[in-house]
Structure 1
Amino acid sequence: MDKRYKKTVKDKAIHRIKIIQGHLKSVQEMLEKDEYCVDIVHQSRAIQKALKKLDLLIIEDHLNTCVVHQVKNGEQEKTTSELLKLFEYK
């Protein structure tokens, strides 16, 4: 990760990852115990939602730090290309 990465954002991201890991372990245990499929899918969807929130946290920080830095240094094309690839527009 970029050195400009904010420690508070990094801490939040790591915290969210640990929560997601706990949810993943829970899904694995549910599968091993042959629990009700709908309950497993609910847990899986919660994981997907948590991953989206993690992505948003990281993207927001990237926009506020790295992108600003790149634009100030005349790297607009690189920045635009990266973001388009990230969102699969290109």
Structure 2
Amino acid sequence: MQGYGEDKTKVLARLHRVEGQVHAIAQMVEDDKYCIDVLTQIAAANSGLKSVALLLLDDHLNHCVRQASAQGGEVADEKLAEASAAIGRLVKS
């Protein structure tokens, strides 16, 4: 089971919302809507994706990393390195 197992419904709901936002953005471009309005919707979709990413990261830390730390050794080191790399990617985005 993945770390987000308990939040899977919440994660999927948020992703479906973002999917709808992206579809609406494409429609806005098709309809030649005002640039600032399109950019506003892009910012909202980005915010939605970041929200999902933070939820997944939190679940990963509380499930996968916590479990690996209890085991210790290389497994713990690997999970901590993965989490650190994921945080770095999120900060850069």
TM-score class normalised by the smaller sequence: 0.7 to 0.9
In 1, distance between residues paired with 2:5 and 2:14?
Answer: 14
AA partner of residue 72 (structure 1): A
- For the pair 1:73 / 2:71, whether they are aligned, the reply is yes
Matching residue's letter, 1:34: D
TM-score by length of 2: 0.85
1:83 match: 83
Aligned to 1:51: 49
Aligned residues: 87
Which residue does 2:22 correspond to in 1?
24
- In structure 1, runs of 5+ residues without a counterpart are none
The aligned counterpart of 1:12 is 10
Which protein is richer in helix relative to its size?
2
Q: Percent identity?
A: 28
* Cα distance in 1 for residues equivalent to 2:37 and 2:4: 36
Unaligned runs of 5+ in 2: none
Tell me how far 1:4 sits from its aligned partner: 4.2
Does the residue aligned with 1:87 lie in a helix, a strand or coil?
helix
TM-superposed deviation, 1:7: 3.7
